Amino acid sequence: MSTEAKRGLWREIRVQLPFLLWLVVLWMLLWGQFTVLSAVTGIAVALFVTRVFRLPTIELSGRINLWWAALLVVQFLAAVVHGSLSVAVQVLNPRRPPGAAIIAVPLRYADDLVMTHVAVTSSLIPGSLVVDTDRDTRTLYLHVIGVRSLADVEHQRAGVLRWERRIVRALGSPAQAAALRADERAEEGRR
């Protein structure tokens, strides 16, 4: 094996290692056991899954802003609580049935990884669910409840775009973060 091939192999292992570790942790959580046996079987399953079901490698940006990531977690937890209460109020109000809509949200800064994070975050907050994605146009299609007017649709769309910005600040690549900062400066200049 040539030196270049060895470097390529080690690079692939280094890129895939966080995903393999995550699959092992997920396996252990699934079985509710943190034992040596569950770790070994988790490694075997993770290797099997990643080798049999080959997907394109998604490289992490290598950038995590701890402040924005902590803020993202706190805002997410608050949004889950607020969404739960909002859905409960809408469902329990017999005089006013909740309106629903499917809205398209074109993302601005998303690559595959950020788009996935935005989709999962939007789906985990009660009141909205991603029903389709268009990878080519970077568009998420969401089913949302509590929509009665065009203003409500725009409010929901703006909420998803806020999540995209939060995720880019916390986990996005340096190029995505720079594009976001440039857009924010331009927006402030227009005001």
**82 assigned to some structural domain:** yes
Tokens of 134: 């268009």
Q: Maximum CA pair distance of the chain?
A: 73
**95 assigned to some structural domain:** yes
For position 31, what pLDDT does the model report?
86
For position 173, what pLDDT does the model report?
83
Q: 44 and 104: one domain?
A: no
Amino acid present at 169: R
Q: 12 and 79: one domain?
A: no
Q: 76 and 13: one domain?
A: no
Q: 23 and 81: one domain?
A: no
Q: 79 and 154: one domain?
A: yes
Q: 19 and 72: one domain?
A: no
**61 assigned to some structural domain:** no
Q: Mean pLDDT of successive 10-residue segments in the chain (191 residues)? A: 69 74 86 89 86 67 81 94 92 84 92 89 93 93 92 94 93 86 88 76
**57 assigned to some structural domain:** no
Q: 77 and 27: one domain?
A: no
For position 161, what pLDDT does the model report?
95
Spatial contact of 50 and 16, defined as CB atoms under 8 Å apart: yes
Number of compact structural domains in the chain: 2
pTM score of the predicted model: 0.71
**101 assigned to some structural domain:** yes
For position 144, what pLDDT does the model report?
95
Alpha-carbon distance of 66 to 98, in angstroms, equals 38
What residues have CB less than 8 Å from 170, skipping those under 6 apart? 64, 65, 68, 69, 71, 72
**86 assigned to some structural domain:** yes
Q: 96 and 27: one domain?
A: no
Q: 37 and 87: one domain?
A: no
Domain hosting 88: range is: 66-190
